[in-house]
Structure 1
Amino acid sequence: MKKIIGILIAGVLILTGIQIYSNQKQVITFGMFTVSNWDVPNGNCYEIYENAIERFENKYPDVQVELISGISKEDYVEWILGKSLTKEVPDVFMVPSESFLMFAQSGLLLNLDSYINQLDTAKFYSSSLEAGQLKEEQYALPFESVPTLMYVNKTLLEKENIALPDNDWTWDEFYSICKQVTKDIDGDGLLDQFGVYGYDWLLASHSNGCELIDEQGNLAIYTDQMEDSIKFMQKLYALNQNIEVSSQDFDEGKVAFCPMKFSEYRAYKPYPWRVKKYSNFEWDALMLPSGHDGDHSSSINTLSMGISKNSKNKDMAWEFLKELTYDVECQKEIFTLSQGVSVLKEVTSSQETLDLLSKDNPGDSSFQLKMLDSVMKEGTPQVMFTQYNDIIQQLDAEIYRIIINRHEDISIELKTIQDKIQAK
């Protein structure tokens, strides 16, 4: 009986000691949503963060990172705002691109300028780093980015005796090729081969130097560059003679070009290589064609991470923020556990990364994965804002009405649309 009592007492003392030790640990919280930021399937949404936490806690044994999860992306912003009312915002938390301005302007995010000099910021792609800046002050660090590339049906171009464009191509070259390949192949009087699927006014406007939002935060579509972009889209759309190009046309190899976010390529691999398997055509990728007043750079969408302004553990939160965004091991896992591109130049441009991505390509593909580094270097941050998706949907409906109906008074139409949306 004495032995049993002794064992019980020892057990209680051990548990008490563990509890005391645990209570001595510094706890920082990390808030995330449960799906991919890029709206594509991701079965490993937790693994990359759990690995980062494990490495971090090994570096700092006296620190415990509490992962707060289970929040959907749709509910995430409301959840963060709710936490801000009680000053319980996680020490470190995800900052989606469309929410950055609201989070920064409302005082939720800690200004990182007093910490940023600890880093060599030249290691980040500038397009990614700038996604976390407001008035040249840093409020968040980039975690992963996604550019858009133009995929090219090489087999179709070869059949039409058209040379593959280079990365410095323009709207004029793009339109010329689309015009040449758009035709009735089977002779039934209806077009059944097309130039492009999925290219929209937003991509066109970005490559023509358009900014949807001005420096004051107002909608700014009433510009010469936007008018020029819509005129180009009208020409491109007219080639199809009111026939809507479908995803099936694309899948069957009847389309020369298709823009695709890198995240979609990664998530749905072997798509578009799935297409190649069934339709026996080869693909390559290019940067987007440049407009008359723009360039061929891609709009870079970035998921950032920030620190709560009310965090009681700011210094240790900063260390964990670095683990996510600046640590090479964590950033390498972007390419294996997520669908984006690492925000660190040395990771994305490394031979290890190129070899990894090459495994996804068919053996006879000449897809230039090295282009990713160039795309990221030459890209520009995608300016997003609160209610971005809602406003884009409104613009889609209004602008496609202009494109499809071939309105000539585009400038007047744009002014009307801008005033209408801005007034809401």
Structure 2
Amino acid sequence: MRKSRLTAGIVAALAVAGTAACSSGGSSSSDDTLTFMFRGGEDEKAAYQEAIDRFTEDTGVEVKMIVTSADQYAQKLQAAVAGNKVPDVFYIETASLQSYVSSGVLMDITDKVAEQGADLDNIWEYGLDSYRFDGSVQGTSEGRLYGLPKDIGPFAFGYNADMLEKAGIERPDPDEPLTWDEWLKICQKLTQDTDGDGEVDQWGTGLNVQWNSQAFVWSNGGDWTNEDFTEVTVDTPEFAEAIQFIADLTNEHGVTPNPEQSQTLDTYQRFMAGEIGFFPVGPWDMSVYNELDFEYDLLPWPVGKTGEPATWIGTLGIGVSNTTAMPDEAVQLATYLSTDETAQETLVDASIQIPNRIDTAEKWAAEATEEGVKPKNRQEFLDIAEDYGRAGSSSYTYGGEWYDELWVGIQPVIDGDKPAAEYLAEVQPRMQELLDQANAQAEQAAAAAAAAS
């Protein structure tokens, strides 16, 4: 599961198109075959094929898979909704859930999931609650279920264990997080000219401010909004200090590739090439990282002023069309893919996610002691899921345009041409205006849905 979100424009278009789909009762299924639309590569496709073949064998229900690449999924799903050909079962993102519910695209599956007898107490609470909505608030245990987690995505921090060993640096403690200063000193030791040509060719780290800033901001006591998502709070000293620290890794300390070096080879590729010491690791990376020529492992994210690690945790969901011709079978398929032990083991064995089932996840983490298993510290994924992982504010607002605005003009900060505090003071009013618009849209959609019912 890659970190991504539908833009506000796409969400709005889906809402309009979804209203038409709801009113006309369209579905892409035939009388005896379900359609399941998802995104992923060959590993994910093969794993789902194996799981669905077993589902068909057990239930007699045929399933047609519709697979897209990650960057095409939102557009193709939008076209399916607009064309009144909503797949029976399909991937959903938390940022689009409210609009899908308001427009009638998603089915309320609460009662039908209960009829399946699934042990929801054995599913990560964060994953379940992300798809609950009570008509005004998303993400609380009191809401109705409009989807089930396909997975949860704890965004962990990884390191090249071979690089640290070669530099004479002990492996980090898997339980005790490094402070920013402690981590920076290790990055400085790792940053080297290894071939003696006068150019640095090995770096301590290589972070992307858009995808990696959450861990630093939250651990330093900052956040994007207040608790009820009504006020943008990026213009605080805690937030600015975290963003400045990330920028200084390149401009002041030189422990990351500079922009010119990143254009030659981005930091993701450099980590896989063994040129970067510390880099984020999501469960979706394991199938690739497990084939690397060096050993990698996980550690807690470095900590700021709070002294407590923090990181983003995401989730991708499986929803059911409100207009499916086979509602019972569609909910059965969604429940099977999300909660069945054998189905989960099939997906986990493909190294594309961690288990949704808590008992399966604990077993999976314990297996890391076996020879050849990577990463050894699988428990870090579970610690994030249980303890210090947090959903981004934009996961529970009506679209994420307000959040995206932060990154539009941040490059001068990353290049060292503008202080983070100055930029954040400038961008906060623009973000606030967009958040106000999103909240107003949410209220309008809720009112329209209430009137229609």
Secondary structure in 2 matching 1:309? coil
Choose which of 107, 121, 127 in structure 1 pairs with 2:104: 107
Residue in structure 2 matched with residue 239 of structure 1 by the alignment: 253
Residue 322 of structure 2 is aligned to residue 309 of structure 1: yes
Q: TM-score, normalised by structure 1?
A: 0.73
How many angstroms apart in 1 are the aligned matches of 2:253 and 2:64?
A: 52
Choose which of 291, 313, 337 in structure 2 pairs with 1:270: 291
Residue 175 of structure 2 is aligned to residue 163 of structure 1: no
CA RMSD after TM alignment: 3.8
1:145 maps to a residue whose letter is I
Task: Confirm or deny: 8 A CA contact 2:283 2:351 kept in the other structure.
Answer: no
In the TM superposition, 1:264-343 aligns within 5 A as 264-271=285-292, 274=293, 276=294, 282-293=295-306, 295-337=308-350, 339-343=352-356
Task: Confirm or deny: 8 A CA contact 2:286 2:351 kept in the other structure.
Answer: no
Task: Confirm or deny: 8 A CA contact 1:267 1:339 kept in the other structure.
Answer: no
Residue in structure 2 matched with residue 27 of structure 1 by the alignment: 32
Deviations 1:55-82 (A, max 9, x none): 3334334xx3342525554444344444
How many angstroms apart in 2 are the aligned matches of 1:193 and 1:47?
A: 36
CA 1:65–1:292 in 2, change beyond 3 Å: closer, same or farther?
farther
Secondary structure in 2 matching 1:46? helix
Choose which of 418, 429, 434 in structure 2 pairs with 1:407: 418
CA 1:343–1:181 in 2, change beyond 3 Å: closer, same or farther?
same
The unaligned stretches of length 5 or more in structure 2 are: 1-29, 435-453
In the TM superposition, 1:364-403 aligns within 5 A as 367-378=376-387, 379-382=389-392, 383-384=394-395, 392=404, 395-396=406-407, 398-403=409-414
Deviations 1:202-252 (A, max 9, x none): 423334325546644776533444212112213322100895265476466
- Deviation of 1:303 (Å): 1.9
Secondary structure in 1 matching 2:410? helix
How many angstroms apart in 2 are the aligned matches of 1:162 and 1:315?
A: 56
Q: TM-score, normalised by structure 2?
A: 0.69
How many angstroms apart in 1 are the aligned matches of 2:274 and 2:413?
A: 29
How many angstroms apart in 2 are the aligned matches of 1:149 and 1:358?
A: 22
1:143 maps to a residue whose letter is K
**Aligned residue-pair number:** 378
CA 1:358–1:116 in 2, change beyond 3 Å: closer, same or farther?
farther
- Deviation of 1:397 (Å): 5.2
Residue in structure 2 matched with residue 175 of structure 1 by the alignment: 184
Greater Rg, structure 1 or structure 2?
1
Percent identity reads 21
How many angstroms apart in 1 are the aligned matches of 2:98 and 2:225?
A: 12
Residue in structure 2 matched with residue 17 of structure 1 by the alignment: none
Deviations 1:306-334 (A, max 9, x none): 11223343333222221111101111111
Residue 65 of structure 2 is aligned to residue 56 of structure 1: no
Choose which of 194, 207, 215 in structure 2 pairs with 1:198: 207
Residue in structure 2 matched with residue 227 of structure 1 by the alignment: 240
